[in-house]
Chain A
Amino acid sequence: MKNSRVLFSVPYLIFMAVFVVFPLGLLFYYAFFVQGFSLERFGNYFSSADEMATLFRSIGFAFTAALFCILIGYPAALILARSRSKFVPFILLLLTAPMWVNGLLRTIALGELFASRGAFMVIIGLTMDYLPFMLMPIYLVLKNIDKAYLEASTDLGANKWTTFYKVVLPLSMSGIISGFLMVFTPAVSTYYLSAYLGDNTTFMLGEELNLMFTKNHDYSGGAVIAIVLLSFVLISFFITNWLSKLGNKRGGII
């Protein structure tokens, strides 16, 4: 009778097995096992110059957008973390509120404001979409830095800039890294944003997967790209886990 508790999670476990684990297994099946086991599709993928150009272009766009997010988000996060204003919680809510507006409509509205299309617009769009994901982790880390470290640094003769560079920045590194991953991972797989704000030189992985599915009906080819995208997710997942373990060891600062 006392073990009846675990039984309550059975519907959840069945649901997750059917809709998460099994479909991910199917991706691998379609990529490797249709008509017998073969690595051919991956060989072809990684030796094709076109495919590699799309892969590195996607990485480049997502990386640049994440960098922009740091450049815009960090100063704002620092100001908000330092401020004693009672409006700070309200401003934080304001910063996340745009995410409640339909993402598709926001992208279209941004596109209508600017006449140009291309790589720059894609990066602006990605930056706008994912900025709150960068801001929040950095804000939380900065907020948790013990004030005593800053006082110690000043007492030891460091000026404001040295304190920032040698104390605050290293201590906030974990926030920057997790913010980076939270921006990079969804940005690298975007598809309607680059299709709408980009031109014929901004073809990205997400668009490619979409084409494979809607136009070519090439499920195995789609599965290969899906696995490439999945590997980005898994890498960032492990980095995040590693960071939080590191954080627990050091008492939660980093």
Chain B
Amino acid sequence: MKKYLLWLPVVILLFFLYLPIISIVIKSFGNIESFGELFTSKKYIGAIANTFVIAIVSSLFATIIATMAVVGITKMGRRNKTATMIVNQLPIVNADIVVSFSLVLLFITLGIYNAGYLKLFFCHTLIALPFVLLTILPRMRQLDENLYDAALDLGATPFGAFWRVIIPQLMPAIVNGFLLGFTLSLDDFVITQYNNDGIHTISTVIYSAIAKKDIPNVFYALTTIIFGIILVGLCVYNFMFLRKRGKQK
């Protein structure tokens, strides 16, 4: 009995963290037709599609830039490398609202007003890029320093060496980086709210619904579906992948 009592702080913690999510799930099942609405209602499907399109395009863009960047960064001198890494760290540690505000000032200064999706693509690339870079960089460091030079010596062009030698080696990290960037973009609210020019995503629709004190049930249903997929994924990952690894040990 004492052994189980010891886990009490962990159980309390889990309960605390999951309380709002349980409430969201209950709400979504209380309004079961909202699951159908999710796929039929034209009103919200636009915002949901926008959210996913922006997340996919921006994280793809961020992944391409970051993958190219790590090839160069590992070759930089110490001081340039440190400076680059500090700049990379800035948007990660900076408050969302400060980043949003500084981007607003940037677009005003450049005179870019109604650029539609383009502004959001750039903003979300910025959200993803530093994290994608940090995901790929350690993998690049593990690669043999001479791989790229060897490819050049054997007659590959710089781009050929990058495409045929470096990229395949980095692939697992590139996929991880893309997924991380995708989730970060999906979750963003503040930066999108400040720079959207009338293009709505899930977060901004929810935000404007707060004022009307009426959150569309569709979003509770969507959250339930996404969270369900994540939970199932985690269980599968844990009980199949980790067990397999345990056996190999």
List residues of A whose CB falls within 8 A of some B CB: 1-13, 15-16, 18-24, 26-27, 30, 72-73, 75-76, 79-80, 86, 89-91, 93-95, 97-110, 112-113, 128, 131-132, 135, 185-186, 188-189, 191-192, 196, 206, 209-210, 213, 219, 222-223, 226, 229-230, 233, 236-237
Verify A12–B133 contact, CB threshold 8 A: yes
Verify A20–B87 contact, CB threshold 8 A: yes
Enumerate chain A residues within 8 angstroms of B203, measured Cβ to Cβ: 102, 104
Instruction: Point out the residue from A100, A103, A112, A185 that lies within 8 Å of B183, measured CB to CB.
Output: A100
Nearest A-chain residue to B87, judged by Cβ:
A16
Verify A72–B16 contact, CB threshold 8 A: yes
Enumerate chain A residues within 8 angstroms of B69, measured Cβ to Cβ: 8-9, 11-13
List residues of B whose CB falls within 8 A of some A CB: 6-7, 9-10, 12-14, 16-21, 23-24, 27, 65-66, 68-76, 84, 87-91, 93-99, 101-106, 108-109, 122, 125-126, 129, 133, 148-149, 152, 158, 162, 183, 187, 189-190, 194, 202-203, 206-207, 210, 215, 219-220, 223, 226-227, 230-231, 234-235, 237-238, 242, 246
Instruction: Point out the residue from B9, B91, B190, B227 that lies within 8 Å of A20, measured CB to CB.
Output: B91
7 closest cross-chain pairs (CB), A and B:
A9-B72, A12-B69, A189-B95, A23-B102, A109-B20, A4-B158, A75-B9
Enumerate chain B residues within 8 angstroms of A233, measured Cβ to Cβ: 93-95, 98
Known: A16-B87, A94-B234. A108 touches B72 (CB 8 A): no
Q: What is the predominant secondary structure among interface residues of chain B facing chain A?
A: helix
Nearest A-chain residue to B243, judged by Cβ:
A86
Enumerate chain A residues within 8 angstroms of B16, measured Cβ to Cβ: 72, 128, 131
Enumerate chain A residues within 8 angstroms of B27, measured Cβ to Cβ: 109
Q: What is the predominant secondary structure among interface residues of chain A facing chain B?
A: helix
Verify A219–B10 contact, CB threshold 8 A: no
Verify A10–B72 contact, CB threshold 8 A: yes
List 8 A–B pairs whose Cβ atoms lie within 8 Å, in order of A's numbering. Answer: A6-B72, A7-B158, A11-B65, A12-B129, A79-B6, A80-B10, A206-B97, A219-B108
Verify B9–A76 contact, CB threshold 8 A: yes
Nearest A-chain residue to B126, judged by Cβ:
A19
Bound Cα distance from A95 to B234, whole angstroms: 11
Enumerate chain A residues within 8 angstroms of B219, measured Cβ to Cβ: 102, 105
Verify B152–A1 contact, CB threshold 8 A: yes
Most chain B CB within 10 A, of A15, A95, A135, A223, is at A15
Verify A90–B206 contact, CB threshold 8 A: no
Q: How far is the CB of B48 from chain A (nearest CB, A)?
A: 12
- 4 extra interface residue pairs, beta carbon distance < 8 Å, beyond A1-B158, A97-B231: A76-B9, A101-B20, A101-B226, A189-B98
Instruction: Point out the residue from A23, A101, A109 that lies within 8 Å of B106, measured CB to CB.
Output: A23
Instruction: Point out the residue from A2, A20, A79, A86 that lies within 8 Å of B152, measured CB to CB.
Output: A2
Verify A112–B23 contact, CB threshold 8 A: yes
Verify B20–A21 contact, CB threshold 8 A: no
Verify A105–B206 contact, CB threshold 8 A: yes
